Amino acid sequence: MFHCIPLWRCNRHVEAIDKRHCSLLAVPEDIYRYSRSLEELLLDANQLRELPKPFFQLVKLRKLGLSDNEIQRLPPEIANFMQLVELDVSRNDIPEIPESISFCKALQIADFSGNPLTRLPESFPELQNLTCLSVNDISLQSLPENIGNLYNLASLELRENLLTYLPESLTQLQRLEELDLGNNEIYHLPETIGALLHLKDLWLDGNQLAELPQEIGNLKSLLCLDVSENKLERLPEEISGLTSLTDLVISQNLLEIIPDGIGRLKKLSILKVDQNRLIKLTEAVGECENLTELVLTENQLLTLPKSIGKLKKLSNLNADRNKLQHLPKEIGGCCSLTVFCVRDNKLTRIPTEVSQATELHVLDVAGNRLQHLPLSMTNLKLKALWLSDNQSQPLLTFQTDTDRTTGEKILTCVLLPQRPSEPSCQENLPRCGAFESLVNEMSDETWNERAVNRVSAIRFLEDEKDEEENETRTLLRRATPHPGELKNMKKTVENLRNDMNAAKGLDSNKNEEITISKPTSADSRVDTRSKSGPSLTTDDVITIPGIILTRPSTSDEDTDEVSRDLEDTDDLASGYCPLYFDCLNNVFDPP
């Protein structure tokens, strides 16, 4: 009664195959049996090196994924895929796109990013159904002059190439909504850019632009504009015409002012102006009523505009590393403010009105000159209050006190009053004899002369006498370096060590007499002099985490111990201290 249908007949009609991340070295041959029905084939993230001729018999394909392989050639037979709608061959080793690609008339989405391409075929603009084209990071030096023929194009990604100019025909792409030109070598943006009336996202970051054309103000539909990492010295007043703009990123330029017209951008939500040369922020910024994020880091601002209190929706305000001397009391009007950062400025007080920003959860005022905090801050529900780089906990224990000048109640703690932050990362390095003269003064060409005839001597603290001597020393808090800074520090130390080793090798062939005289008083010196190379005095204070090192006492036994620590006179002559570098290696490369 029941008849079994043959298995081969059941599996003949297959429309989609997904073989991503299967470590394939070649296209599976069993795929070819479905050539009459297969419409979607995903072979991404394998180890394919070539596409055999039978592969191009899959003429029904509409979606083909070959990204993240090792394909070295795209054969002319690609023209067989006349029904192909989506093609992804990104991140392969394809050096050239065949001219026959123009026969793929149905192609709408194409991604050729991450291949060693230098050009697009001249026939490429014949793909007039193309809506999304991605050619990022392919060393592209120019675009076809007739690229404007791709009149259905809605998204064009050209990031990380070598483009220096844009063809005039680009303005014919009237349906273009996304244009990414980031990280190229474009020096000039044509005035015709203003003709792309449907453009919503424009990325121009990482180029060589010195100015923007006035016509950019015609882009009424633009939502996001990124012109960071350029050489802009000014913005055109016409930028006020971008009435739909929500994101404006102008970081890392040479701007000294922002035009007042920015106040007309009523829909602006994110404004990033960090790493410029702003001395003053226009009062018009207070008219950006929908602003939620304002980044002003690393400028030259002396104060913030009073109008900032009008920004009722502002939730994130960052003005780190400026020259702010005071904050306007209107800052309390930012009723939605949750994160407020003014690290590394010159603030001496925080206005009491800041407590009116009841949504404030994170306040970073480290690296300023605050003497105390206003008592009104106890009304805030802070989750983090940063007063120092060395602060181990986000919240501290405060005590109430009275300001002797004003008689007001104030808050104080162990980290108040503040000390100005030390801006140089080199000052955060461990101090160790020669390190004072070699690293902290390495920018000074005369350091080598000043360091001559100085000898380093170190020993561990053992008796109460040495403890009493060290009680007069000042405890210095130093910021923990960022991992990136540590790498730079390590590189600096290694370079110094290599230079010292080289100097040591040159001096080893010379016969020099080095005499270590016996100390006779607390002010005596271990005198070792050589014809070349820096040496150190025993008065050097050496601070290394976990070790307390002081100058040696005057006994004969101690002098012998110093001599044993320094091991040989060659090290003394060259100014090289093995124990010192071993300690530094432990700091930079902990076990």
The predicted-structure confidence for 194-208, as pLDDT tens digits, reads as follows 999 999 999 999 999
Task: Using alpha carbons, list the distances in angstroms from residue 284 to 98, 297, 308, 309, 537.
Answer: 54, 19, 9, 12, 60
Band (406; pLDDT cuts 50, 70, 90): confident
* 128 has pLDDT over 70: yes
User: In this predicted structure, which of 19-33, 193-207, 262-276, 498-512 has the lowest mean pLDDT?
Assistant: 498-512
Secondary structure (DSSP) of 139-180: ------TTGGG-TT--EEE--SS------GGGGG-TT--EEE
DSSP states of 461-509: --SHHHHHHHTTSPP---PPPPHHHHHHHHHHHHHHHHHHHHHHHHHTT
Which of 538, 540, 562, 572 is CA-nearest to residue 435? 540
At CB < 8 A and 24+ separation, what contacts does 248-257 make?
Answer: 248/272, 249/205, 249/224, 249/225, 250/276, 251/275, 251/276, 251/295, 252/228, 252/276, 253/227, 253/228, 253/229, 257/282
Summarize the confidence of residues 305-320 as an average pLDDT.
97
Q: Is 475 exposed, middle or buried (0-12, 13-18, 19+ CB in 10 A)?
A: exposed
Give the pLDDT of residue 495: 76
Within 8 A by CB and 6+ apart from 84, the residues are 61, 62, 63, 64, 104, 106, 107
* pLDDT over 60 at 585, yes or no: no
Sole residue written with tokens 């016409």 = 238
What is the predicted pLDDT for the residue at 501? 72
Total number of residues shown for the chain: 591
Residue type present at position 492 = T
Residue type for position 486? L
pLDDT at 299 over 60: yes
Examine the pLDDT at 588 and tell me if it is beyond 70. no
Name the more confident of 557 and 297.
297
- 3 state SS for 319-383: CCCCCCCCCCHHHHHCCCCCEEECCCCCCCCCCHHHHHCCCCCEEECCCCCCCCEEHHHHHCCCC
Residue boundaries of the structural domains of the chain:
1-186, 425-588
pLDDT band at 231 (very low <50, low <70, confident <90, very high): very high
pLDDT of 453 > 80? The answer is: no
Q: Is 89 helix (H, G, I), strand (E, B) or coil?
A: coil
Amino acid (one-letter) located at 76? P
Is the entire prediction scored with pTM above 0.85?
A: no
- Looking at residue 405, its pLDDT comes to 86
pLDDT in tens, 519-529: 434 343 334 33
Residue with more model confidence, 516 or 449: 449
Judged against a pLDDT cut of 70, whether residue 246 lies above it is answered with yes
User: Torsion angle of alpha carbons 510, 511, 515, 516, nearest 10°?
Assistant: 60
Q: What is the model's pLDDT at position 570?
A: 43
Superfamily holding 1-186:
Ribonuclease Inhibitor (3.80.10.10)
| Region 116-120 average pLDDT | 94
178 strand-pairing partners: 155, 201
Rounded Cα distance between 150 and 107, Å, is: 12
Q: Do residues 49 and 68 lie in contact, with contact meaning Cβ atoms separated by under 8 Å?
A: no
- What is the reported pLDDT for 528? 37
In the chain, what percentage of residues exceed pLDDT 70? 71
Q: Are strands 547-550 and 459-460 parallel, antiparallel or unpaired?
A: antiparallel
pLDDT in tens, 521-580: 434 333 433 333 443 343 444 333 333 333 444 444 444 444 444 444 444 334 444 444
Return d(Cα 320, Cα 377) in angstroms, integer.
20
DSSP states of 268-300: --EEE--SS--S---GGGGG-TT--EEE--SS-
Q: Alpha carbon of 321 to those of 9, 367, 385: distances in Å?
A: 72, 9, 17
Cβ–Cβ under 8 Å, residues 329 and 308: no
The residue among 51, 43, 155, 73 whose CA lies nearest residue 108 is 155
Confidence band of 503 (pLDDT split at 50, 70, 90): low
* Mean pLDDT, the chain, integer: 81
Q: Which of 45-59, 396-410, 477-491 is least confident?
A: 477-491
- Phi (first) and psi of residue 371, to 5 degrees: -90, -30
Query: Quick check: 403 and 410 in contact, CB under 8 A?
Result: yes
Question: What is d(CA 193, CA 115) in angstroms, rounded to the nearest whole number?
Answer: 28
54/264 Cα distance (integer angstroms): 61
* Mean per-residue pLDDT, 148-155: 96
Out of 66-70, 120-124, 199-203, least confident range: 120-124
Task: State pLDDT tens for residues 162-204.
Answer: 999 999 999 999 999 999 999 999 999 999 999 999 999 999 9
Tokens representing 108 are 């709408």
Q: In what order do the strands lie in the sheet with 547-550?
A: 459-460, 547-550, 542-544
pLDDT given for residue 482 in this prediction = 63
pLDDT of 28 > 50? The answer is yes
Confidence of residue 429 (pLDDT cuts 50, 70, 90): very low
Question: Which tokens in the block code for residue 276?
Answer: 């410029």
First to last CA, the chain: 77
User: What is the reported pLDDT for 463?
Assistant: 47
- Average pLDDT over every residue of 84-101: 97
Q: DSSP for 381-423?
A: --SEEE--TT--SSS---EEEE-TTT--EEEE-TT-S------
Residue 423 scores a pLDDT above 80: no
Task: Record the tokens describing residue 578, joined without a space.
Answer: 């093995």
| Residue 542 CA to its chain's centroid (Å) | 33
